[in-house]
Amino acid sequence: MTDQGRLAGRVAVITGGAQGIGLAIARRFAEEGASVVLADLKIETATNAASDLQGAGLNAVALAVDIGWDESVKTLAGEVERRFGRCEILVNNAAIGMDTHIETMSMDDYHRVIRINQDGAVCMTMAFVPLLKKAARGRRVLNVASIQGLRGWPNQLAYATAKGAIVNFTRAASCDLAPHGITVNAIAPGFVDTPMSILPDGSHEYDSDWFRDIYVKYGRIPMRRFGHPVDMAGPAFFLCSDDSDYVTGQILSVDGGASATF
């Protein structure tokens, strides 16, 4: 649907919207009537994804952005303003993965993860606040954190640190933006089947014996399966819909119960 639905008439910008969780959220928002902007560094992939959504009768465009570069973020905000004049929903989803252990990582690797996964969300939010303030209603910022931002994790020092910062950025930003009628919330996915789940040797993280034994057989994930991107779309929709008008500064774990067993 394009002219009706619970997000009809709203503009939603989703970083990392070309694939995975970002694309699943974009599709759900578009199905609810929003005009979605797939903002991604992988512009060819984003363009193909937007074409697929358009082929289904949905409103979608692809725009290039490198959230690790402030000028690229400003250019994106300017293009969204030129095309739409406003933005009701911003989803800070884009991130990179990298194995980092405190004894072996370089500071360059650490800063690269922080620059994209942490600073990128802050920069995007700062750039889009003026466009959010122009919207009449339904003004939302949704950050994609991680259960790694709530718990420690081996070999993920930089990623977990960045996602932990996103958790508190969500809370702090919600206080600053509430007077403008802008809510700021986050989802914290657990194990989700995305391109980031592919290990350096090309195998799939969820096909490993350790994952199947600990998280499935012995129930460290009570639902006994990994998540799919579409599992993130429903909670994201709730936090960006009118149903969440009085919800802000909250972190919703979407992890099949994994965080309940830690």
Mean pLDDT calculated for residue range 238-244: 98
pLDDT in tens, 38-54: 999 999 999 999 999 99
The helix/strand count (H/E) of the chain reads as: 8, 7
Known active-site residue 159: yes
Closest CA to 226 of 203, 258, 179: 258
* 189 contacts 200 by C-beta, under 8 angstroms: no
Domains of the chain: 11-195+227-260 (3.40.50.720)
Spatial contact of 207 and 226, defined as CB atoms under 8 Å apart: no
Q: Which residue is listed with tokens 């965080």?
A: 259
pTM equals: 0.94
User: Looking at 67-71, 179-183, 206-210, 233-237, which range is the least confident one?
Assistant: 206-210
CA distance 261 to 257: 7
Q: Is the pLDDT of residue 145 over 90?
A: yes
Q: Which two tokens stand for residue 68?
A: 């690790």
The confidence band for 207, taking pLDDT boundaries of 50, 70 and 90, is: confident
Catalytic residue among 110, 159, 215, 246: 159
- What's the CA gap between 144 and 232, in Å, rounded? 10
For 248, list phi and psi in degrees, rounded to 5.
-155, 150
